[in-house]
Homo-oligomer: A and B are copies of this chain.
């Protein structure tokens, strides 16, 4: 039986002690969200996830969502779980008040996402998608569409999807074939086939609102000729749903390695009635706006599954006895010592824990930056935009890579039990494997970072990152206890600067250099950002201890910071060498001999 205790204490620490969100809330007009409110919401959501979503997770894997005659049926416990969250009004947390929402800060939703993912990643996907659809509608659709769809989608009463991929067009959306024919009444008839559409058909809500990329007649070639359309499964009038499906049919769902609860649909649009959202030929731009949140949410999948895998693996390890402490028997009265005495077992568990907690800090930081971006003053917005733009591909790619590594280590530490379905950890290993692929593969994230984000506006984004980073190092340089963190952090920041210059200068003359080194560069960047987070967290803990606060939490955090700096950050040395090695060996290999 899988267990999960949402990391509430860690979020309290991050939100209040590391990122001072209450000060930010007051500054950004989130005054209603004082510490008590934030903490209460987190606790209530955590409770809801534990009691309703977690128990249905295994049904998602074993029963799965099934397809019969064009209909998708989710496991019965999914409906209970989903309804519990809808009825509590939870999905509208960050929506506008006029759409039934609480207008809560976005970082809160981000924390909530992690608990949802850990409890039931398959079900969490539909919530994340629907929020994205809500944001597209409420920000960019005509008032008529807002009136018809925004509140329903905000509350989770109707669900939403993103319809991008086609059989021949995934990463390269510029070549999609779906068409939109303008009608006299201002609507469009949409036709085409979309694949890999998450929850495009299901029985959790009475209507489904699809956001579809399609091409208008005579639109330009490539990504500049793509428009965004809202296409509902059922049309509605005066609040009543049509009985006829709007030409949208699901012709099958994929069999997948994991995430069986989340149906991955083939969706056909046959002259389906839809409406333009945003301007003509600006569909990609809108999708990318929405991407920031979706990519952060995907990054959180690496953290959420890393966390729940860790908890279950640790629980197993605590009960397992094998062998003796190499320095001498620990438990004379038992036939063997706890496996937690073995350095290699600790190495695996602590590595997972350090990557989870470091990534969580980074995700939380990005969450607060999304609030700055949404509500900050003009200077704050510029700063936040630069950082979000830089950190989004990093949290997406790095945290999901780490999620795969972490779930693997959690299997390994359990030996044969880790491989068996009974203990639940293997499901997390299978489920999380989609995260490095979703929302732009991690290779695409790396190209986005290395090819766009670091060079844009003459390196503006990087300046916005380096400034607080170097200031932090400077401020803590002379603190005796901090120097063991700030010193390697500084070395890695310097290394990052050098690699960035190399990428830019080599990339100028040869885009293959840049593209061939982008993945290792992103990993280097990611590790450096986690080092920043760990140093920052360590600083808070040391200050608290200096102030005389006795709390084992701080002791554990500091010990874990040591793990990060000794066990994980040194990988950057090898990564740097690989970035420097360039791309020639990749491009010179004869294609026919692959």
Please indicate the chain B residues that have their CB under 8 angstroms from the CB of A585 in the complex.
Answer: 350, 559, 562-563, 565-567
CA distance A241 to B318 in the complex (A): 46
CA distance A574 to B576 in the complex (A): 10
CA distance A314 to B422 in the complex (A): 34
Contact of B567 with A171 in the complex, beta carbons under 8 Å:
no
Contact mask A409-447 → B, CB, 8 Å, 1/0?
001100110111110001001100110110001110011
The answer to whether residues A589 and B563 also contact, given A257-B429, A344-B519, A419-B437 and a CB cut-off of 8 A, is yes
Interface residues of A in 171-187 (CB under 8 A from B): 171-172, 175
Contact of B443 with A418 in the complex, beta carbons under 8 Å:
no
CA distance A594 to B429 in the complex (A): 21
CA distance A552 to B592 in the complex (A): 10
Q: Which residue of B lies closest to A335 (CB)?
A: B175
CA distance A140 to B582 in the complex (A): 55
The answer, yes or no, to whether A463 is at the interface (CB within 8 Å) is: no
Rounded to whole Å, the gap between the CB of A429 and the closest CB of chain B is: 7
Please indicate the chain B residues that have their CB under 8 angstroms from the CB of A348 in the complex.
Answer: 443
CA distance A411 to B435 in the complex (A): 12
Contact of B347 with A552 in the complex, beta carbons under 8 Å:
no
The answer to whether residues A172 and B323 also contact, given A255-B420, A340-B594, A588-B559 and a CB cut-off of 8 A, is yes
Rounded to whole Å, the gap between the CB of A196 and the closest CB of chain B is: 5
Contact of B415 with A441 in the complex, beta carbons under 8 Å:
yes
Q: Which residue of B lies closest to A517 (CB)?
A: B343
CA distance A437 to B410 in the complex (A): 12
Contact of B555 with A590 in the complex, beta carbons under 8 Å:
yes
> Which segment of A129-137, A365-373, A508-516 sits at the interface?
A508-516
Please indicate the chain B residues that have their CB under 8 angstroms from the CB of A342 in the complex.
Answer: 443, 515
Please indicate the chain B residues that have their CB under 8 angstroms from the CB of A565 in the complex.
Answer: 585
Please indicate the chain B residues that have their CB under 8 angstroms from the CB of A412 in the complex.
Answer: 436-437, 441-443
Point out the residue from B170, B571, B587 that lies within 8 Å of A415, measured CB to CB: B170
CA distance A437 to B425 in the complex (A): 15
Contact mask A556-594 → B, CB, 8 Å, 1/0?
100110110111001111110110011111111111111
Rounded to whole Å, the gap between the CB of A194 and the closest CB of chain B is: 12
Contact of A443 with B344 in the complex, beta carbons under 8 Å:
yes
Contact of A447 with B574 in the complex, beta carbons under 8 Å:
no
The answer, yes or no, to whether A256 is at the interface (CB within 8 Å) is: yes
Point out the residue from B322, B323, B430, B552 that lies within 8 Å of A590, measured CB to CB: B552
Rounded to whole Å, the gap between the CB of A353 and the closest CB of chain B is: 7
Contact of A336 with B254 in the complex, beta carbons under 8 Å:
no
CA distance A496 to B261 in the complex (A): 48
Contact of B344 with A515 in the complex, beta carbons under 8 Å:
yes
CA distance A313 to B397 in the complex (A): 21
Report the interface size class on chain A: 35 or more
The answer to whether residues A336 and B172 also contact, given A443-B345, A556-B589, A581-B566 and a CB cut-off of 8 A, is yes
The answer, yes or no, to whether A381 is at the interface (CB within 8 Å) is: no
Contact of B346 with A172 in the complex, beta carbons under 8 Å:
no
Contact mask A480-518 → B, CB, 8 Å, 1/0?
000000000000000000000000000000111011101
Rounded to whole Å, the gap between the CB of A580 and the closest CB of chain B is: 8
Q: Which residue of B lies closest to A563 (CB)?
A: B585
Rounded to whole Å, the gap between the CB of A213 and the closest CB of chain B is: 15
Please indicate the chain B residues that have their CB under 8 angstroms from the CB of A589 in the complex.
Answer: 346, 350, 556, 559-560, 562-563
Contact of A326 with B433 in the complex, beta carbons under 8 Å:
no
CA distance A321 to B172 in the complex (A): 9
The answer, yes or no, to whether A404 is at the interface (CB within 8 Å) is: yes
The answer, yes or no, to whether A165 is at the interface (CB within 8 Å) is: yes
The answer, yes or no, to whether A408 is at the interface (CB within 8 Å) is: yes
Task: From A321, A443, A514, name the one whose CB has the most chain B CB atoms within 10 angstroms.
Answer: A443
Please indicate the chain B residues that have their CB under 8 angstroms from the CB of A171 in the complex.
Answer: 322-323, 415
The answer to whether residues A322 and B570 also contact, given A257-B419, A353-B594, A519-B344 and a CB cut-off of 8 A, is no
Q: Which residue of B lies closest to A175 (CB)?
A: B335
Q: Which residue of B lies closest to A582 (CB)?
A: B566
Rounded to whole Å, the gap between the CB of A426 and the closest CB of chain B is: 4
Point out the residue from B172, B314, B434 that lies within 8 Å of A594, measured CB to CB: B314
Task: From A348, A562, A574, name the one whose CB has the most chain B CB atoms within 10 angstroms.
Answer: A574
CA distance A404 to B429 in the complex (A): 12
CA distance A336 to B168 in the complex (A): 10
Q: Which residue of B lies closest to A438 (CB)?
A: B416
Contact of A437 with B408 in the complex, beta carbons under 8 Å:
no
Please indicate the chain B residues that have their CB under 8 angstroms from the CB of A583 in the complex.
Answer: 343
The answer, yes or no, to whether A155 is at the interface (CB within 8 Å) is: no
CA distance A314 to B591 in the complex (A): 11
The answer, yes or no, to whether A40 is at the interface (CB within 8 Å) is: no
Interface residues of A in 522-556 (CB under 8 A from B): 552-553, 555-556
Contact of B416 with A170 in the complex, beta carbons under 8 Å:
yes
Contact of B559 with A590 in the complex, beta carbons under 8 Å:
yes
The answer, yes or no, to whether A349 is at the interface (CB within 8 Å) is: yes
Known: A412-B437, A559-B588. 20 other contacts (CB 8 A): A168-B321, A171-B323, A172-B321, A326-B511, A343-B516, A346-B516, A348-B443, A350-B585, A350-B594, A353-B594, A412-B441, A412-B443, A555-B590, A559-B589, A559-B593, A562-B589, A563-B586, A566-B581, A572-B574, A573-B577
A to B CB contacts below 8 Å, 13 in the list: A168-B321, A168-B335, A172-B322, A254-B421, A255-B421, A257-B419, A257-B421, A344-B446, A430-B430, A555-B590, A570-B577, A570-B581, A572-B574
